[in-house]
Chains A and B, each alone.
Chain A
Amino acid sequence: MSATLTSSAAVPAKAPESGQPGIRRLFAMEANARIVEFARTTLGRLLIILGFGTLLSLQYSWRYWLPVMLGAAACAYVAEHRMKLVALSTFAVLALDPLWFNSLDAVKGLAKNAGIEHPKAVPFLGYGATLSVFGLATALLALRQRFSDSKLAHRPVLLLLGIFSLLVAAATATTGHVEGIALWALAMTLGAYFWFICYALHDQGSRKPVSVVEHLGLFRPFWGSTSVSFGKGAAYLARFEARTAEELAVTQLKGLKLLLWARVLLYAREAWSTLVHQELGIPWFAEAIAWLTGGRSFSPWTGWASLVLSSVDLALGMAIFSHTIIGSARIAGFRLPRNMWRPLEARSLAEFWNRYYFYFKELLVDFFFYPTFLRCFKRHPRLRLFFATFMAAGVGNALFHFMREIDEVIKHGWYGAVAGYQSYLFYCLVLALGVGISQSRQRKSRPGGSFVRHWVLPCTGVWFFFLVLYVFGHEDRTLSLSERFRFLFFICGGTHER
């Protein structure tokens, strides 16, 4: 599990002089001194912000893109109050739509069953739950400050996991009652903010503590996020703030470029899925499994093609949303490293994670790998490294996703939720073993060997591992472990029969 991306993934602080001609100059605009100079002018800044707003408006309603555009402009150009403006922008986006990342659909179902059908009921619950979680986070930050020497202060995940578990237990016990609706809304909202609170509690122990408002402003920041914090917490983000007008211009140009690239990938994804899915008739992965279980005849090669189609679609989707988030943060003045950086160049399983979903990997490293590595099996170096990797890629990964999908418990009950999760648990187990072994065997890179041995074989091995693992990692929880094994057996040359 790596702690950094290569430096090329982060935005350089200065614009190097460039003598590149024509089209290449446009692609490397942040390296062109004249373009950077123009980006520092009032007109240049206006064009950057308008371009940013235009790109967002192609994808989102005005209720989202307009406050994000205005917030990013304020954060970028009023640098002395940047962190306060981040908080203000985050709260503004949240006020306009309290359910922008947390639809509470399962809670809507509970409310409907209880006869509560007022259209404002669930948004009101969303506001209430969010305010309650912010209140809880504020109290925990104060306690963290007050009892900084206690053992729990150094274990934010354990502390918060305890609270989350109690909340889920209470919600489970009251499901079917009116109070159960509120408790589930609270549990789902805490789940959505869980890792943001962990980062805030972790950062509270750093040398430069920040205000509670600034911490809260980074909970699902306005530039977008998943349950993973892109930009981690305040301490990490502070290291990537653009400090000068030139740094800001370079950062914004790279942000704009990343947003444009996300747009190109979006069109490519649409064209790709139309071509292979509609024109060539290759099924999506879940469809292929349905064909198999339904007894429909197709060749193992179609099964492989389905696997490739679906995994490429997943990777493109990941690139599009993560480039959009990082691009937006860069427009706001933060030189954040990219989330996805040339994943096909990974030569080991551990490196793939670093290149494919950097901020999720960082979350697992920060809250599972290091806490385990620094405490367990200190006298057994290989076991120590393997176990810490296993805790991150396996246990942490499984826990993260189960908490993220805690609404499955509302929909299917505990038994149904755990049963639906069995494939993902198997995925986590294999992934953890694979990455753990990969870490233990990792050797120093020795460039200069043959191209095939140094690049082709390792990269191909990594792609193949993740392609096969996708069979179990696919997030359709209705597909059972046995169905997935059957599919794998079939595409590897097994029979079509049960």
Chain B
Amino acid sequence: MSGDAKQRIRGFIAGLVEGHAGNTVFSDSESLFQSGRLDSMSAVELVTFLETEFGIDFANVDFDIAMLDSVDLIEGFVAPMLRPAAGGMSARR
């Protein structure tokens, strides 16, 4: 996954955190949802962002919000889908 993509994810989450808790200081490994820093509305916005920004289709994923609980986890989730023919997951670029 390119550093640019990770920066875009981080930038988007910083906006969510700022809107939710007013503090944008967080590390890439820090829990976002389980810690209560972000709520479900943020989860919905994050899913929509990943769909539109990276063309990810969540329809056939065993979705659990825990897999998007930190910037590092999101990166780990998104990266394989951005590669062609990655495990049958659809990805539009």
Contacts and interface: CB of A to CB of B under 8 A. Distances in A.
B60 A154 contact: yes
A10 B36 contact: yes
Nearest to A375: B59
B64 A235 contact: yes
Given A1-B40, A4-B39, A444-B20, A370 B63 contact: yes
Contacts of A8: 36
A202 interface: yes
Contact of B35 (A7, A235, A371, A445): A7
B48 interface: yes
B17 to A, nearest CB: 11
Nearest to A1: B40
Q: Which of A4, A202, A371 has the most CB of B within 10 A?
A: A4
A373 interface: yes
B37 A3 contact: no
Contact of A378 (B43, B51, B88): B51
Contact of B88 (A5, A149, A236, A354): A149
B33 A385 contact: no
Interface residues of B, number: 26
A281 interface: no
Interface in B2-25: 19-20
Contacts of A6: 36
Interface string B61-85: 1111110000000000000000000
Interface string B32-61: 011111111101100110010000001111
B64 A206 contact: yes
Nearest to B42: A3
A374 B56 CA distance: 11
Contacts of B37: 7
Interface of B: 19-20, 33-41, 43-44, 47-48, 51, 58-66, 88
Interface of A: 1-10, 149, 151, 154, 202, 205-206, 235-236, 239, 350, 354, 365-366, 370-371, 373-375, 378, 381, 385, 439, 442, 444-445
9 shortest A-B CB distances, which residue pairs? A7-B36, A205-B62, A2-B40, A374-B58, A3-B40, A6-B36, A3-B65, A444-B19, A4-B33
